[in-house]
Amino acid sequence: MRKALAVGRKEFRQIRRDLRTLLLLLLLPGVLLVLYGYALNFDIRNIRLATEDRDRSVESRAVISAFVNSGYFDLVAEARSGNDIDRLFDANEARAALVVPEGLGEAVRTGRPASVQILIDGDNANLATTVLGYATGIVRGVSLSLQVEAAGIPGGARPPVTVVPRVWFNPELRSALFLVPGLIAFISMLTGAVSTAVSIVREKEQGTMEQVRMAPIDTVSFVVGKTIPYFLIAVVSALSVVVVAMALFGLPMRGSWIELMLATSLFTAAALGTGLLVSTIADSQLVAFQVVALLAFLPTFLLSGFVFPIPSMPQAIQMITYIVPARYFLVALRTIVLKGVGIHAYWPQLVALSIYLVVVLGLSALRLARQRA
């Protein structure tokens, strides 16, 4: 028993000396609890909705009001034609569009069948399925209320207003078309961050980092030389995943391969920069893996929109997602692959990735320069 206590005291002293590992052991469970507790919410809110009211009647306004007042949809635009809806979908400004045809009010008043159309952006199959369910339920509810209001009107009970759904970009709502782009981002971030972090930390453990610091080489050259091989490998790996997904899962390629290469290269560089920053913090490969999991693995999986829709998260968590590079890459990737739209539709995402890249590389170079000094 005395020996066990002695080993225990020695282990406590060792943990106390390694403050980074101690902080990870204390903070990581709480961080996981908060992320899973808030991000794992499948009740989607604040769905961006565009409307095209061709009828301009009391009944058409009642249908639109039912969507807006449901708490699920936010009215972001009133389209005047189908071209407006195309533009809103291409620019990711709307996730759904409600089209009310001409004559809906008269059809409802005279007891004839009436229908509205809901257009859904299907690049996120899970989100599109949920939106379709919301729309069907809302139309059914407003139809019932209109029936109750007209119960005393001669001519018999009117048929309910029905909804005609149409899903764009992914009509079959195939989950593979939603998951594969997310997997590309997930794999690229994880492999890129881990490879650079472990590569540099390994030099620290083997003692060769001291030799590098004494060598006549500047910090920028050292960083570039260490990341070029991993950058090339990561880009080739990401593009290979796209090709395999096209062959096995029927992933379309509706956009430009050059634009895909540009977006992928920018995100890969951001992933490598993240790993480089981790390498300046960690002194062992084990700690490097733990920090990568905290800074790259979990945010990419939980907070990028890969699995869990960002609109379903609380406002505070949504603010955190703005510093997750995979959030921007997923929008650009799905826009290129599924929608086939040009760079004008997703250039803000590329700008955000560039800003992230500059920040992490700047912090990494600053820390490396201080360590060498």
pLDDT tens, 68-90? 988 889 999 998 887 888 888 88
Query: What percentage of the chain exceeds 90 in pLDDT?
Result: 13
Which one of 7-11, 45-49, 244-248, 251-255 scores highest in mean pLDDT? 45-49
Report whether pLDDT(317) > 80.
yes
For residues 92 and 339, the answer to whether their CB atoms sit within 8 Å is no
Bin 119: left if φ > 0, else alpha if -120 < ψ < 50, else beta.
Answer: beta
257-281 and 325-334 are packed helices; what angle lies between their axes, rounded to 10 degrees? 170
Distance CA 52, CA 141 (A): 20
Residue recorded with tokens 């282990």: 11
174-211 pLDDT per residue, tens = 666 777 777 778 878 877 787 777 777 776 776 666 55
Return mean pLDDT, the chain: 77
Taking the whole predicted model, whether its pTM rises above 0.85 is answered as no
Q: What is the pLDDT of residue 7?
A: 42
Q: What is the pLDDT of residue 356?
A: 93
Report whether pLDDT(149) > 80.
no
Query: What percentage of the chain exceeds 70 in pLDDT?
Result: 74
Domains (range + CATH), the chain: 47-168 (3.40.1710.10), 175-372 (no CATH)
Q: Distances in Å between the alpha carbon of 218 and those of 214, 223, 224, 244, 368? A: 10, 9, 10, 40, 10
> Please, which residues have CB within 8 angstroms of residue 41's CB and are 6 or more apart in sequence?
308, 312, 313
Q: What is the pLDDT of residue 175?
A: 63
User: Which residue in 123, 98, 52, 178 sits closest to 346, CA to CA?
Assistant: 123
226-243 pLDDT per residue, tens = 677 777 777 887 777 778
For residues 111 and 158, the answer to whether their CB atoms sit within 8 Å is yes
Q: Which two tokens stand for residue 353?
A: 């990735």
175-206 and 219-249 are packed helices; what angle lies between their axes, rounded to 10 degrees? 150
Could you tell me the pLDDT band of residue 213, with boundaries at 50, 70 and 90? low
Distance CA 171, CA 65 (A): 27
16-68 pLDDT per residue, tens = 666 665 565 556 545 644 554 455 555 677 899 999 999 988 888 989 999 99
112-146 pLDDT per residue, tens = 778 899 999 887 777 888 888 888 888 888 877 77
Report whether pLDDT(355) > 90.
yes
Could you tell me the pLDDT band of residue 279, with boundaries at 50, 70 and 90? confident
Report whether pLDDT(5) > 60.
no
